[in-house]
Protein backbone atom coordinates (compact mmCIF):
# COMPACT_ATOMS: atom_id res chain seq x y z
CA UNK A 1 0.00 0.00 0.00
CA UNK A 2 1.29 3.41 -0.98
CA UNK A 3 0.91 6.59 1.03
CA UNK A 4 1.45 9.88 -0.82
CA UNK A 5 2.90 12.79 1.10
CA UNK A 6 2.78 16.45 0.25
CA UNK A 7 6.50 16.40 -0.30
CA UNK A 8 7.31 17.51 -3.83
CA UNK A 9 10.76 18.28 -5.14
CA UNK A 10 12.06 19.85 -8.34
CA UNK A 11 15.32 18.70 -9.92
CA UNK A 12 16.67 21.34 -12.31
CA UNK A 13 18.93 20.78 -15.34
CA UNK A 14 20.37 24.22 -16.20
CA UNK A 15 22.21 22.98 -19.30
CA UNK A 16 19.09 21.54 -20.99
CA UNK A 17 18.65 22.62 -24.60
CA UNK A 18 15.48 24.18 -25.96
CA UNK A 19 12.69 21.64 -26.25
CA UNK A 20 14.19 19.32 -23.65
CA UNK A 21 12.80 19.20 -20.15
CA UNK A 22 14.82 21.34 -17.78
CA UNK A 23 13.09 20.31 -14.54
CA UNK A 24 12.06 16.88 -13.30
CA UNK A 25 9.38 16.81 -10.60
CA UNK A 26 9.25 13.95 -8.08
CA UNK A 27 6.81 13.07 -5.30
CA UNK A 28 7.74 11.24 -2.09
CA UNK A 29 5.73 8.09 -1.37
CA UNK A 30 5.71 5.48 1.40
CA UNK A 31 5.46 1.83 0.41
CA UNK A 32 4.04 0.00 3.42
CA UNK A 33 4.31 -3.79 3.67
CA UNK A 34 3.84 -6.23 6.54
CA UNK A 35 7.54 -6.12 7.39
CA UNK A 36 8.63 -2.55 6.84
CA UNK A 37 7.93 0.88 5.36
CA UNK A 38 9.97 2.00 2.37
CA UNK A 39 10.12 5.62 1.32
CA UNK A 40 11.02 6.57 -2.21
CA UNK A 41 10.74 9.36 -4.74
CA UNK A 42 8.87 8.70 -7.96
CA UNK A 43 8.71 11.02 -11.00
CA UNK A 44 5.34 12.71 -11.52
CA UNK A 45 6.15 15.06 -14.41
CA UNK A 46 8.54 17.27 -16.33
CA UNK A 47 8.80 20.95 -17.19
CA UNK A 48 10.29 22.03 -20.54
CA UNK A 49 11.24 25.52 -21.71
CA UNK A 50 11.52 27.38 -25.04
CA UNK A 51 12.94 30.79 -25.68
CA UNK A 52 10.48 33.11 -27.41
CA UNK A 53 12.43 35.67 -29.46
CA UNK A 54 9.39 37.91 -30.00
CA UNK A 55 8.70 38.22 -26.29
CA UNK A 56 12.38 37.79 -25.44
CA UNK A 57 11.68 35.34 -22.62
CA UNK A 58 11.36 31.65 -21.87
CA UNK A 59 8.02 29.88 -22.16
CA UNK A 60 7.43 26.77 -20.08
CA UNK A 61 5.20 23.72 -20.57
CA UNK A 62 4.52 20.65 -18.43
CA UNK A 63 3.86 16.96 -19.00
CA UNK A 64 3.07 14.12 -16.64
CA UNK A 65 5.33 11.08 -16.17
CA UNK A 66 3.79 9.45 -19.25
CA UNK A 67 4.53 12.46 -21.50
CA UNK A 68 0.95 13.76 -21.68
CA UNK A 69 0.60 17.60 -21.66
CA UNK A 70 -0.82 19.04 -18.42
CA UNK A 71 -1.49 22.53 -17.06
CA UNK A 72 -1.57 23.92 -20.60
CA UNK A 73 -2.93 27.28 -19.44
CA UNK A 74 0.20 27.95 -17.37
CA UNK A 75 3.19 29.43 -19.16
CA UNK A 76 5.17 30.71 -16.19
CA UNK A 77 7.56 28.59 -14.17
CA UNK A 78 6.25 29.58 -10.72
CA UNK A 79 2.66 28.80 -11.79
CA UNK A 80 3.62 25.34 -13.03
CA UNK A 81 5.51 24.54 -9.82
CA UNK A 82 2.44 25.57 -7.83
CA UNK A 83 0.24 23.24 -9.89
CA UNK A 84 2.62 20.33 -9.30
CA UNK A 85 2.61 20.97 -5.53
CA UNK A 86 -1.19 21.12 -5.42
CA UNK A 87 -1.69 18.03 -7.60
CA UNK A 88 1.34 16.00 -6.54
CA UNK A 89 -0.70 13.19 -4.90
CA UNK A 90 -2.88 12.63 -7.95
CA UNK A 91 0.07 12.71 -10.34
CA UNK A 92 1.97 10.32 -8.06
CA UNK A 93 -1.00 7.92 -8.15
CA UNK A 94 -1.07 8.04 -11.96
CA UNK A 95 2.68 7.48 -12.13
CA UNK A 96 2.52 4.61 -9.66
CA UNK A 97 -0.34 2.90 -11.55
CA UNK A 98 1.60 3.28 -14.80
CA UNK A 99 4.70 1.77 -13.20
CA UNK A 100 2.73 -1.20 -11.82
CA UNK A 101 1.11 -1.72 -15.23
CA UNK A 102 4.56 -1.64 -16.82
CA UNK A 103 5.85 -4.21 -14.34
CA UNK A 104 2.86 -6.48 -14.98
CA UNK A 105 3.29 -6.08 -18.73
CA UNK A 106 6.96 -7.01 -18.42
CA UNK A 107 6.07 -10.05 -16.34
CA UNK A 108 3.45 -11.09 -18.89
CA UNK A 109 5.99 -10.65 -21.66
CA UNK A 110 8.46 -12.77 -19.72
CA UNK A 111 5.78 -15.44 -19.21
CA UNK A 112 4.97 -15.32 -22.92
CA UNK A 113 8.65 -15.67 -23.76
CA UNK A 114 8.97 -18.61 -21.37
CA UNK A 115 5.87 -20.20 -22.88
CA UNK A 116 7.17 -19.61 -26.40
CA UNK A 117 10.56 -21.02 -25.44
CA UNK A 118 8.89 -24.06 -23.89
CA UNK A 119 6.82 -24.52 -27.04
CA UNK A 120 9.92 -24.28 -29.23
CA UNK A 121 11.71 -26.80 -27.01
CA UNK A 122 8.79 -29.21 -27.34
CA UNK A 123 8.77 -28.77 -31.13
CA UNK A 124 12.52 -29.40 -31.26
CA UNK A 125 12.08 -32.51 -29.09
CA UNK A 126 9.33 -33.80 -31.41
CA UNK A 127 11.56 -33.24 -34.43
CA UNK A 128 14.45 -35.04 -32.77
CA UNK A 129 12.20 -37.96 -31.75
CA UNK A 130 10.87 -38.18 -35.30
CA UNK A 131 14.42 -38.07 -36.68
CA UNK A 132 15.48 -40.86 -34.31
CA UNK A 133 12.44 -42.90 -35.35
CA UNK A 134 13.23 -42.41 -39.04
CA UNK A 135 16.86 -43.37 -38.42
CA UNK A 136 15.77 -46.54 -36.64
CA UNK A 137 13.36 -47.41 -39.45
CA UNK A 138 16.10 -46.82 -42.02
CA UNK A 139 18.48 -49.05 -40.05
CA UNK A 140 15.83 -51.80 -40.00
CA UNK A 141 15.37 -51.50 -43.76
CA UNK A 142 19.12 -51.75 -44.25
CA UNK A 143 19.24 -54.92 -42.14
CA UNK A 144 16.40 -56.48 -44.15
CA UNK A 145 18.09 -55.58 -47.45
CA UNK A 146 21.40 -56.93 -46.18
CA UNK A 147 19.73 -60.25 -45.25
CA UNK A 148 18.17 -60.44 -48.73
CA UNK A 149 21.54 -59.77 -50.36
CA UNK A 150 23.20 -62.50 -48.29
CA UNK A 151 20.46 -64.98 -49.23
CA UNK A 152 20.77 -64.08 -52.93
CA UNK A 153 24.55 -64.48 -52.79
CA UNK A 154 24.19 -67.92 -51.20
CA UNK A 155 21.71 -69.02 -53.89
CA UNK A 156 24.03 -67.76 -56.62
CA UNK A 157 26.98 -69.56 -55.02
CA UNK A 158 24.95 -72.80 -54.91
CA UNK A 159 24.00 -72.49 -58.59
CA UNK A 160 27.59 -71.73 -59.57
CA UNK A 161 28.73 -74.75 -57.60
CA UNK A 162 26.24 -77.01 -59.48
CA UNK A 163 27.34 -75.60 -62.84
CA UNK A 164 30.97 -76.14 -61.91
CA UNK A 165 30.24 -79.75 -60.92
CA UNK A 166 28.40 -80.37 -64.22
CA UNK A 167 31.27 -78.87 -66.19
CA UNK A 168 33.76 -80.99 -64.32
CA UNK A 169 31.65 -84.09 -64.93
CA UNK A 170 31.39 -83.37 -68.67
CA UNK A 171 35.13 -82.78 -68.82
CA UNK A 172 35.72 -86.15 -67.14
CA UNK A 173 33.38 -87.88 -69.60
CA UNK A 174 35.16 -86.32 -72.58
CA UNK A 175 38.52 -87.32 -71.22
CA UNK A 176 37.20 -90.83 -70.62
CA UNK A 177 35.97 -91.10 -74.23
CA UNK A 178 39.27 -89.84 -75.56
CA UNK A 179 41.10 -92.43 -73.49
CA UNK A 180 38.68 -95.25 -74.59
CA UNK A 181 37.82 -94.67 -78.28
CA UNK A 182 36.23 -98.15 -78.59
CA UNK A 183 33.46 -96.98 -76.28
CA UNK A 184 32.44 -94.42 -78.86
CA UNK A 185 32.48 -96.96 -81.76
CA UNK A 186 28.89 -98.05 -81.33
CA UNK A 187 27.88 -94.45 -81.75
CA UNK A 188 29.77 -94.32 -85.04
CA UNK A 189 28.13 -97.56 -86.21
CA UNK A 190 24.74 -96.18 -85.38
CA UNK A 191 25.52 -93.07 -87.40
CA UNK A 192 26.53 -95.19 -90.42
CA UNK A 193 23.36 -97.27 -90.08
CA UNK A 194 21.22 -94.13 -89.97
CA UNK A 195 22.96 -92.80 -93.09
CA UNK A 196 22.26 -96.07 -94.94
CA UNK A 197 18.61 -95.95 -94.03
CA UNK A 198 18.41 -92.36 -95.24
CA UNK A 199 20.02 -93.37 -98.57
CA UNK A 200 17.52 -96.22 -99.03
CA UNK A 201 14.62 -93.91 -98.33
CA UNK A 202 15.99 -91.40 -100.81
CA UNK A 203 16.34 -94.07 -103.51
CA UNK A 204 12.76 -95.21 -102.94
CA UNK A 205 11.58 -91.64 -103.32
CA UNK A 206 13.44 -91.34 -106.61
CA UNK A 207 11.92 -94.59 -107.91
CA UNK A 208 8.46 -93.46 -106.93
CA UNK A 209 9.01 -90.18 -108.78
CA UNK A 210 10.09 -92.07 -111.94
CA UNK A 211 6.99 -94.28 -111.80
CA UNK A 212 4.78 -91.25 -111.50
CA UNK A 213 6.50 -89.62 -114.47
CA UNK A 214 6.00 -92.77 -116.57
CA UNK A 215 2.35 -92.83 -115.61
CA UNK A 216 1.92 -89.26 -116.66
CA UNK A 217 3.58 -89.97 -120.03
CA UNK A 218 1.25 -92.90 -120.67
CA UNK A 219 -1.81 -90.76 -119.91
CA UNK A 220 -0.59 -88.16 -122.34
CA UNK A 221 -0.12 -90.77 -125.12
CA UNK A 222 -3.62 -92.10 -124.57
CA UNK A 223 -5.06 -88.63 -124.84
CA UNK A 224 -3.20 -88.05 -128.08
CA UNK A 225 -4.51 -91.32 -129.59
CA UNK A 226 -8.02 -90.22 -128.90
SS3 state at 208: helix
Instruction: Read off the pTM.
Output: 0.43
* Domain count along the chain: 1
In tens digits, the chain (226 residues) has pLDDT values of: 344 456 899 998 877 676 666 899 999 887 776 677 778 898 999 999 888 888 888 889 999 988 899 999 888 999 999 999 999 888 988 888 887 887 787 777 766 666 667 777 777 878 888 788 888 888 888 888 888 888 887 777 777 777 677 777 777 677 766 666 555 445 555 555 566 666 666 666 766 666 666 655 555 555 555 5
The vertex-12 CA angle with 9 and 17, nearest 5°, equals: 150
Instruction: Say if 188 falls within a structural domain.
Output: no
Domain enclosing residue 106, as ranges = 2-115
Rg, C-alpha atoms of the chain: 61
Instruction: Say if 203 falls within a structural domain.
Output: no
Instruction: Say if 167 falls within a structural domain.
Output: no
Instruction: Say if 127 falls within a structural domain.
Output: no
Q: At what angle do helices 88-179 and 77-86 cross, to 10 degrees?
A: 80
Instruction: Say if 9 falls within a structural domain.
Output: yes
- pLDDT tens-digit map of 213-222: 665 555 555 5
Instruction: Say if 96 falls within a structural domain.
Output: yes
Instruction: Say if 166 falls within a structural domain.
Output: no
Q: Which residues contact 95 (CB under 8 A, 6 or more apart)?
A: 27, 42, 43, 44, 64, 65, 66
Instruction: Say if 86 falls within a structural domain.
Output: yes
The vertex-64 CA angle with 106 and 102, nearest 5°, equals: 5
Amino acid sequence: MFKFNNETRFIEYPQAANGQYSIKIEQKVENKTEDHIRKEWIPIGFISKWFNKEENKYIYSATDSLGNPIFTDCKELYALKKEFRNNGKDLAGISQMARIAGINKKQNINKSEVSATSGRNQDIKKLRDKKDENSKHLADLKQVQKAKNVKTEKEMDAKNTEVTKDNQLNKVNIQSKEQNPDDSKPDADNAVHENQEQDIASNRMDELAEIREQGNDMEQDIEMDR
